[in-house]
Structure 1
Amino acid sequence: MIAIFMFIILIVFVLLGAPISMAMAIGALAAIKYSGLDPVIIPSLISGGMSNYTLMAIPFFIFLGNIMNSGGITERIFDWCEALVGHMKGSLAQVNVVTSVVFAAISGTAVANAAGLGMLGVKAMRSKGYDGKFSTGVTVAASLLGPIIPPSVVLLVFGSLSNTSPGKLFMAGLLPGLILAAALMAQIYFMCATGKVQCPEPEKFSLKKLITATKRSIFALLCPVLLFLGVGTGVATATEVGILGCVYAIFVSIIYKTFSLKNLIDALKKTITSASSIMFLTGVGSVIAWVMTKEQVPQTITNALVGFTSSKYVVLLIILFILLFLGCFMDGTSIQLVMVPVLMPIAAAFGIDMIHLGVVVALAVTIGASTPPVGVCLFVLSTVTGEPLENVIAGTKTFYLPIFIALLFVTFFPPIVTWLPNLLLGA
């Protein structure tokens, strides 16, 4: 009863337009007060939720992405990707997706991907005659790769909430991320080949151009490789890899002569804003998780599902529907803070691998960044490109089919997720 009261308060304040963190805090406070407990326990619960070592990696990966954006490094990566896949049908749209793959292996968030490639990718596509609706739609869809391909802030949050290895989660996200990228590229090819969008004829592949672009961007391209090796070999924790990545990014910006104190300060300001928001949400989320545990909400839902079905795939489908619905109204971190404590006992009861569940949850909540009414990537693209919001939404809708196909593929074929982490880091 108390948990229901808490969620009613939370939903009411969200509908009134309150920030999700404030709505969660008020809901948790009301629930504790209503239950007769002393609210003095709230600070200790918030502090405990924010003190998880895994969460230390989050500000470093956000800072890393901001440095790459402000240091002019993203442009070099884009030029290299253009030399690599610019000859394909769909040309710059394909380049946009591949650039997002590379940038996702550095930034770890959808917003950083959308902001970093919003101006660069869309501007390049418009200059070649691509429709603004299609250009922004491609960029929004491609930005969803950010939280899936390692390193991933979303997976770090899941790891901290579920006590799951961040390294294994990172490795688990690689193949699903590449599958999503392949699905988007196939959709682009189909749309251009069938004339659904007007795509200019691509340039012929030039090995000389690729070699030149590789030389020009080699230090930038080494960053995701080093991050992957650090986590994949287990020689460093996610936090240590994040720190080393930041140092390396600053080093690269100095080599490319794009480093400035102003850019560094701007990157720090953006990092503090983003990271503090996530950390506060995590702290408040721990209070909500405590209330739900005290009220035995996870056990009640688990027992209901056990009585309803014995198939873990039916349960996974139900979980997907819930996460996708919540993604229309809440950001990914908030959804995880509310849902992961509920999903953990369900996963245990139905034999769902936690690594598999983590990637499924990450992909499902990330899709919410591209769905109205509160899809943050839609607003980011509209802001940085000047394209009307309704055009951005319309362009993004054309990519929902391949996105959902990739989601279902990852959900119902667990080895896609678990094979690589088991191979590299052990079962």
Structure 2
Amino acid sequence: MTSVTVGLVGIGGLFLLMLLRTPVAFAMMIVGFFGMWMLEGLRSAGGVLVTESYAAVASYSLIVAPMFVLLGNVSSAAGFSSGLYDAAYAWVGRLRGGLASASVLACAAFAAVCGSSVATAVTLGKVALPEMRRLGYAPGLSTGAIAAGGTLGFLIPPSTGFVLYAILTEQSIGRLFMAGILPGLLLTTLFIVVIWFVCTMRPEAGPRGHVMSLKEKLSTVKRSAPLLGVMVLSIGGIYVGAFTPVEASGIGAVLVILLAFVTRSITLSAFWEAVEDTLKTSAMLYAIVIGANVLNPFLAVTRIPAVLGAALQDLGLGAYGSLALIILAYVVLGMFMDGLAMLVVTVPIVYPMMMQFGFDPIWFGVVAVIVIEMGMITPPVGMNVFVVRGVAGDIPLTTIFGGVFPFLLAMIVALLLIILFPQIALFLPNTMFG
């Protein structure tokens, strides 16, 4: 068999292993190891398994992921997320669907200290869904807002998606973090517009909240100020060049832990539980990175990315036609694959093709993350939908999927705007790094 044929068989085997519920990290290791064995021999395969595994876990920049995960877990255990939700509700609660809008704003704020889509959806879902149910919000709108708002954790820095993309493509984590800020704010705004529109069309879906005085609003901001301060310090510190992303993650985690204990917002047992959750999540992320590092040399030897890139160019679709085809492929894959799995499996194949067409690697990272976000709320997999279903309890999956549909349209609009106006993603990183 030719190397390309072996590569195609390997990719088919990878998807088969994942369909058989093999963890994606081990599926990639298996395919990468045995593929290299077939093409380069056992010695080369063993060398790749050992050296790439060590190189993956020894990466200094990868420390960003567990530190920000720890920051988010401690914040959640200490109840800081409810402070963000109360502050958001105080300012936008009087609008149509104000409670749902507050949920989206709180998701965006929590995403800026968490970096995880699922953790954002779970944390804010536990806080917001009971309150929206009490006030008579339509089940589709309330669960859809949380499921869609949770995806912001994959886009707004510190994003685990950007960390993995940076490691897979050898791009700057700092530039990617900065590139996610304006698209994240754009998507948050579009989600709120969707809520306003739905509630204008169906006022009973999301009643207005009571109007709060300026004193009450400032009081809620004061209660959420410590966590907001950590968020501004971490991300702002990266922007002004005071910290590297790794330093910002460590400083943010230490500050949140100190705040939690100084304010007596967390018990020692809850803290250790947050640490254990962080270890489990970090082990999963490290395993995925190791798997990707073992798979990538195999894909490089097969020359599949180059062959696919040449095939795309032969189709004559042009740069943006090829981009549209790849986005469509991502959307289809997103219906069946977890977001992180899709990222680590596809980027080594798709990234070289996009570079052949001259696209900016940072910009494409933002586009890829948004498309993967869409997969988190599309049937039949829709990880965030299942997470929200677990929190909501008795609300059917069909109702939640129906509720997220308008938010999917908002994601499409955001994606089109970023494709038409790349500076939405590139302005901050270009300003910061010159």
- Shorter-chain TM-score bucket reads over 0.9
Q: How far apart are 1:127 and its partner, in Å?
A: 1.2
Q: Is the 8 A contact 1:20 1:330 kept in 2?
A: no
* Structure-2 change in CA distance of 1:79 and 1:196 (3 Å): closer
* Structure-2 change in CA distance of 1:76 and 1:285 (3 Å): same
Aligned-partner SS, 2:241: coil
Q: Is the 8 A contact 1:285 1:334 kept in 2?
A: no
The match for 1:351 is 358
1:49-68 equivalence runs, <5 A? 49-68=56-75
- The answer to whether 1:90 aligns with 2:97 is yes
- The answer to whether 1:19 aligns with 2:23 is yes
Q: Is the 8 A contact 1:134 1:395 kept in 2?
A: yes
The match for 2:411 is 403
* Structure-2 change in CA distance of 1:14 and 1:220 (3 Å): same
Q: Is the 8 A contact 2:93 2:208 kept in 1?
A: no
Q: How far apart are 1:321 and its partner, in Å?
A: 1.2
Aligned-partner SS, 1:203: coil
1:375-390 equivalence runs, <5 A? 375-386=382-393, 387-390=395-398
Q: How far apart are 1:261 and its partner, in Å?
A: 1.0
Instruction: Report the more deviating stretch, 151-160 or 317-326.
Output: 317-326
The match for 1:34 is 38
Of 264, 278, 283, the match for 2:285: 278
Q: Is the 8 A contact 2:25 2:290 kept in 1?
A: no
Of 401, 408, 414, the match for 1:393: 401
Distance 2:335 2:54 in 1: 29
Aligned-partner SS, 2:332: helix
Unaligned 5+ segments in structure 2 are none
The match for 2:309 is 302
- The answer to whether 1:109 aligns with 2:116 is yes
- The answer to whether 1:146 aligns with 2:150 is no
Of 367, 375, 378, the match for 2:374: 367
The match for 1:171 is 178
Q: How far apart are 1:207 and its partner, in Å?
A: 1.1
Matched residue count: 426
Q: Which amino acid aligns with 1:109?
A: S
1:128-277 equivalence runs, <5 A? 128-195=135-202, 198-277=205-284
Q: Is the 8 A contact 1:382 1:389 kept in 2?
A: yes
Q: How far apart are 1:361 and its partner, in Å?
A: 1.1
* Structure-2 change in CA distance of 1:420 and 1:36 (3 Å): closer
* Structure-2 change in CA distance of 1:301 and 1:68 (3 Å): same
Aligned-partner SS, 2:94: coil
Distance 2:331 2:203 in 1: 28
Q: How far does the alpha carbon of each residue in 1:94-144 deviate from its partner, in whole angstroms, 9 at most, with x for none?
A: 101111111111101101111111111111111111122321111001111
Distance 2:6 2:316 in 1: 27
**What do you get for the CA RMSD once the two structures are aligned?**
1.7
Q: How far does the alpha carbon of each residue in 1:23-69 deviate from its partner, in whole angstroms, 9 at most, with x for none?
A: 32332233233336214222322222333222111011111111111
Distance 2:161 2:295 in 1: 19
TM-score normalized by the length of structure 1? 0.95
* Structure-2 change in CA distance of 1:71 and 1:302 (3 Å): same
Q: How far apart are 1:355 and its partner, in Å?
A: 0.9
Aligned-partner SS, 2:376: helix
Q: Is the 8 A contact 1:316 1:411 kept in 2?
A: no
Q: Which amino acid aligns with 1:398?
A: P
- The answer to whether 1:8 aligns with 2:35 is no
Distance 2:196 2:401 in 1: 20
Distance 1:374 1:33 in 2: 33
Aligned-partner SS, 2:106: helix
Instruction: Report the more deviating stretch, 138-147 or 246-255.
Output: 246-255
- The answer to whether 1:315 aligns with 2:312 is no
Distance 2:407 2:397 in 1: 16
Q: Which amino acid aligns with 2:193?
A: A
Of 104, 114, 119, the match for 2:126: 119
* Structure-2 change in CA distance of 1:195 and 1:238 (3 Å): same
Q: Which amino acid aligns with 1:10?
A: L
Q: Is the 8 A contact 2:56 2:289 kept in 1?
A: yes
Q: Is the 8 A contact 2:162 2:369 kept in 1?
A: yes
Aligned-partner SS, 1:370: coil
Distance 1:331 1:58 in 2: 18
Q: Is the 8 A contact 2:32 2:296 kept in 1?
A: no
Q: Is the 8 A contact 2:132 2:142 kept in 1?
A: yes
Any runs of at least 4 consecutive aligned residues in structure 1 with deviations exceeding 4 A, and if so which? none
Distance 1:376 1:262 in 2: 29
